[in-house]
């Protein structure tokens, strides 16, 4: 395998010394970039873009051409697994993801297959291999999956939801049915992430976008427990290196202590947490990733720089911090502002690593 030229991101996840704080952006390959919009237009619809390894590779690399990012993230969708289970994923313009065959009953759950990643999601593994080859060791590649609870909400609601009514009624009325679904999804996600690791993903992130909609006890039983199961089932990389896992539960700031005991290497933070307080709460158990409010990117470069400085100061000296936004970058952001953000992280973080 190629030698990794920039390993800051992996080192920070393992709390090893770094020269500056590494940075990437959730949804960095996205609609705020004109070159992304051009590739997407060529692809036709969004899923065609995901299913073409060449085009997925192209958009994955686009932000790296513009900015000195410290990681690439596989371009894909969190709903590839339910799609491979036969639910018929499609995108209604302006409406977000939808399933033609949502899961409605215990019988539906029992009938769901656990996809074979290479056979049923080969386009994702082909994208990972293509991206690794094209990256040629510039920066590490992050693989990812949705969390079981997050995937289950889309499968049960048939798409996006405001109150997750069907999912929560199942949680409260038929907890054993929901556990069966979540266990099946956890096994599918484990196999999927392990296949991504075999194909070349050097770290993986689990996006628990909707875990924060649950009560404290329900979060632990119906979301965190299955992420823990996944983490325990992940393999080492082909070279025998550990593959760090990042858990990101949006609106999960109250639960960092229990998340830190999940076996994950790092926790993703949204912007509602103070990252310095979060560091105190989790201690040495995990690294932290985050956490600037993405709407700050609408403000001027000077404001962006000040906010980066504030977050770096809150985290304080030493490794264990991967800078990121607290959620995905939004389509209307000026690409120059994203550049100002990334430069600010590198320039302003050096003093915090001076004792290296």
Which residues are annotated as catalytic?
27, 31, 40, 77, 154
Q: CB-wise, 135 or 286, nearer to its own copies?
A: 286
* Torsion angle, alpha carbons of 88, 92, 95, 97, to 10: 20
- Return phi, psi of residue 295, to 5°: -70, -15
Three-state secondary structure call for residue 262: coil
- Check residue 273 for interaction with its own copies (CB under 8 A): yes
Please list every residue from 181 through 240 that binds its own copies, using CB under 8 A.
212-219
**Kind and range of the H or E element at 57?**
helix 53-66
Maximum pairwise Cα distance, the chain: 59
- Check residue 156 for interaction with its own copies (CB under 8 A): no
Please work out the total of residues on this chain that contact its own copies, with binding judged by CB under 8 A. Answer: 36
- Check residue 279 for interaction with its own copies (CB under 8 A): no
Report the 10 Å Cβ neighbour count for 179: 17
Minimum CB–partner distance for residue 76 and its own copies (Å): 23
Only one of the segments 59-67, 164-172, 192-200, 346-354 lies at the binding site for its own copies (rule: CB under 8 A); that segment is: 164-172
- Check residue 163 for interaction with its own copies (CB under 8 A): yes
Q: Label residues 318-351 b or e (16+ Cβ within 10 Å = b).
A: ebbbbbbbbbbbeeebebebbbbbbbbbbebbee
* Torsion angle, alpha carbons of 116, 118, 120, 126, to 10: 150
Q: CB-wise, 2 or 215, nearer to its own copies?
A: 215
For residues 113 and 86, the answer to whether their CB atoms sit within 8 Å is: yes
Residue from 9, 67, 144, 271 binding its own copies (CB under 8 A): 271
Residue from 173, 176, 239, 284 binding its own copies (CB under 8 A): 173
- Check residue 348 for interaction with its own copies (CB under 8 A): no
Q: What would the two tokens of residue 94 be?
A: 């302006």
Q: What would the two tokens of residue 348 be?
A: 């302003």
- Return phi, psi of residue 99, to 5°: -115, 135
- Check residue 165 for interaction with its own copies (CB under 8 A): yes
CA distance 258 to 261: 5
- Check residue 315 for interaction with its own copies (CB under 8 A): no
- Check residue 169 for interaction with its own copies (CB under 8 A): yes
Q: CB-wise, 118 or 274, nearer to its own copies?
A: 274
Residue from 129, 251, 285, 343 binding its own copies (CB under 8 A): 251
- Check residue 43 for interaction with its own copies (CB under 8 A): no
Residue from 2, 48, 280, 295 binding its own copies (CB under 8 A): 295
Residue from 4, 225, 303, 313 binding its own copies (CB under 8 A): 303
Q: What would the two tokens of residue 187 be?
A: 């096994």
CA distance 328 to 248: 12
For residues 247 and 206, the answer to whether their CB atoms sit within 8 Å is: yes
Report the 10 Å Cβ neighbour count for 262: 21
Only one of the segments 18-26, 116-124, 259-267, 294-302 lies at the binding site for its own copies (rule: CB under 8 A); that segment is: 294-302
- Check residue 293 for interaction with its own copies (CB under 8 A): yes
Q: CB-wise, 271 or 323, nearer to its own copies?
A: 271
- Check residue 179 for interaction with its own copies (CB under 8 A): no
Minimum CB–partner distance for residue 182 and its own copies (Å): 18
Residues in touch with its own copies (CB under 8 A): 163-165, 168-169, 172-173, 212-219, 251, 253-254, 271-274, 277, 293-296, 298-300, 303, 307, 310, 326, 330, 332
């Amino acid at each position: 395998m190629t030698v990794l030229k920039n390993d800051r991101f992996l080192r920070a996840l393992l709390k090893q010394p770094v020269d500056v704080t590494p940075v990437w952006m959730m949804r960095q390959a996205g609609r705020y970039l004109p070159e992304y919009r051009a590739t997407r237009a060529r692809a036709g619809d969004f899923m065609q873009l995901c299913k073409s390894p060449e085009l997925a590779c192209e958009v994955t690399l686009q932000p790296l051409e513009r900015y000195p990012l410290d990681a690439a993230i596989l371009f894909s969708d969190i709903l590839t697994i339910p799609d491979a289970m036969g639910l018929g994923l499609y995108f209604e313009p302006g409406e977000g993801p939808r399933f033609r065959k949502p899961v409605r009953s215990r019988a539906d759950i029992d009938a769901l297959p656990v996809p074979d990643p290479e056979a049923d999601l080969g386009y994702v593994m082909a994208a990972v291999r293509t991206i690794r080859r094209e990256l040629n060791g510039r920066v590490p590649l992050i693989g990812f999956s949705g969390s079981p609870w997050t995937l289950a909400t889309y499968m049960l609601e048939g798409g996006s939801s405001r109150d997750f009514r069907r999912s929560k009624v199942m949680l409260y009325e038929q907890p054993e049915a929901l556990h069966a679904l979540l266990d099946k999804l956890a096994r599918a996600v484990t196999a999927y992430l392990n296949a991504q690791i075999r194909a070349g993903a050097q770290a993986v992130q689990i996006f628990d976008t909707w875990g924060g909609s649950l009560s404290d006890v329900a979060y632990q039983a119906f979301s965190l427990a299955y992420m823990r199961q996944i983490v325990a089932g992940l393999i080492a990389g082909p070279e025998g290196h550990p593959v760090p896992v990042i858990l990101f539960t949006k609106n999960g700031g109250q639960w960092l202590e229990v998340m830190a005991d999940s076996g994950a290497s790092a926790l993703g933070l949204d912007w509602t947490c103070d990252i310095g307080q979060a560091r105190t709460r989790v201690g040495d158990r995990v690294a932290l990733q985050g956490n600037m409010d993405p709407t700050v990117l609408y403000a001027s470069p000077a404001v962006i720089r000040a906010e980066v400085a504030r977050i770096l100061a809150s985290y304080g000296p030493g490794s264990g911090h991967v800078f990121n936004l607290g959620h995905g970058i939004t389509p209307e952001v000026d690409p120059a502002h994203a550049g100002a953000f990334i430069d600010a992280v590198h320039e302003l973080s050096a003093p915090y690593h001076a004792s290296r």
